[in-house]
Structure 1
Amino acid sequence: MNSIFNFFSPKDKLFQPLFEQAGSNLVKISGALVDTVTSKDQVKRREHIKEVEKLEQTGDDITHAIFLGLGKTFITPFDREDIHALVSALDDIADYIYAAGINIDLYNIKTINKAMINLAQLLFEMCTDLESAIKELRGFKNPQLIAEVCLRINAGESKADQICNTAIAVLFDDEQDAIELIKQKEVLQLLEMAADKCDDAANVLESILIKNA
């Protein structure tokens, strides 16, 4: 009887805590990225990148646990497709943040330009917003907050596009070293892609809100 009861137990006892862990992990990894790009000491920068790497693995573990739960749980808090899309977007954010951080190290980028710092700080704000919206999925008690977060993240994604495109244009105008240009351009685009994935997550949250609020 216990196993039958557990199978039909309230959904959020499994999924909601994992969603919130994923949101919290995004705030941590985006914070570690900010530390990476604002650190002027190469040794400390590598320490922050190692933290980014560790948190990316933590995010992978959370994602795996949620997908495992989808395979084993009959009743879910909302549509399986929405759960899959949300978790995939959250995982993608962490992946792109990790890729940006690791490439800063692999490419031995010594000069972090202002645009990279602005994008990292913007990502931290967007991830913090995502975390607060994800918490509100527990009972949908404040749907207005979720809606406001989605609007801010959409605006943030547009701002990230502008920062990235402007910075790349400046690179083509000012950077004489073609190899350095390519390195910095790739990091900028990875940061911008992370912002795109934040917007993807916000779009899924909007869909969940419409269906369940």
Structure 2
Amino acid sequence: MSLNSIFQYFVPKDKKVFFPLFEQAAANVVAMSTVLVEAVNSLDANAREEMFKQIDKLENKGDELTHQIYLELGKNFITPFDREDIHSLATAIDDVADYIQGSANRMSLYAIEEYTEPIRKLSELILQGSVELEKAVRELKDLKNVRNIADSCIRINSIENQADYVFDRAVADLFLYEKDALRLIKYKEILAALETATDMSEDAANVMESILVKNA
């Protein structure tokens, strides 16, 4: 067997095996955040609960994709970029999905009746960040459009900064004006989960920026 044949044995049968999985995972996060925005803007409580169930199903799909990436990482000796970065990116994308689901679960379990402007705004920012995340992930497969990836990462960082401001202002208002301690706790936990989802998008952006630097 030639040296080239041996080398080819270790290369994934689909040379780009990781990229379709990353793209599916990122697209799944966009789908989840789209449903989240629809849910927090819905006036129909029953429809909203169905949307929350849909988010649960999508999160399970995301877990399966993340698990598949980890399996491929264990099976393939040759990877398109650092193994640590593949693992970190998969984990960060999965974390975005986890916190979207966590936010939706809290809204459902706490049976909140008012979907406030900060909740709607943070949900919209999660969607914006998810869209940028998907754009950047789709450019990773050839790294020809480095500028596009970098621009999306910058926008994700900006979105996270906006989410920080919305969260801080909303929590400050809760402490200033909310007299019901139980209601305050419920809303603070929901807002925190929503804001953390944007943090996880920023973590994914940081990993992609690291990949760009290492492959420049």
Who is 2:136 aligned against?
133
Aligned residue among 108, 113, 121 for 1:118: 121
Change (3 A) 1:47 1:12: farther
1:185 and 2:188 equivalent? yes
Distance (Å, rounded) in 2 between the aligned partners of 1:192 and 1:12: 36
Who is 2:17 aligned against?
14
The alignment yields a C-alpha RMSD, in angstroms, of: 1.7
Who is 1:36 aligned against?
39
TM-score normalised by length of structure 2? 0.94
Contact kept in structure 2, 1:100 and 1:187, CA below 8 Å: yes
Contact kept in structure 2, 1:12 and 1:138, CA below 8 Å: no
Pairwise CA distance, 1:183: 0.2
Pairwise CA distance, 1:112: 0.7
Letter in 1 for 2:186: K
TM-score normalised by length of structure 1? 0.96
Change (3 A) 1:45 1:136: same
Contact kept in structure 1, 2:92 and 2:201, CA below 8 Å: yes
1:65 and 2:68 equivalent? yes
Change (3 A) 1:11 1:84: farther
Q: Secondary structure at the match of 1:58?
A: helix
Who is 2:52 aligned against?
49
Letter in 2 for 1:26: V
Q: CA offsets, 1:45-92, max 9 Å, x none?
A: 101101110110000000000000011111001000000110100000
Change (3 A) 1:35 1:6: farther
Distance (Å, rounded) in 2 between the aligned partners of 1:120 and 1:163: 11
Structure 2 segments unaligned to the other structure (5+ residues) = none
Q: Secondary structure at the match of 2:79?
A: coil
Change (3 A) 1:29 1:12: farther
Change (3 A) 1:168 1:141: same
Contact kept in structure 1, 2:12 and 2:76, CA below 8 Å: no
1:151 and 2:140 equivalent? no
Q: Report the more deviating stretch, 4-13 or 52-61.
A: 4-13
Percent identity over the alignment is: 48
Change (3 A) 1:94 1:3: farther
Distance (Å, rounded) in 2 between the aligned partners of 1:88 and 1:11: 22
Contact kept in structure 2, 1:11 and 1:76, CA below 8 Å: no
Structure 1 segments unaligned to the other structure (5+ residues) = none
Q: In the comparison of the two structures, how many residue pairs are matched? A: 213
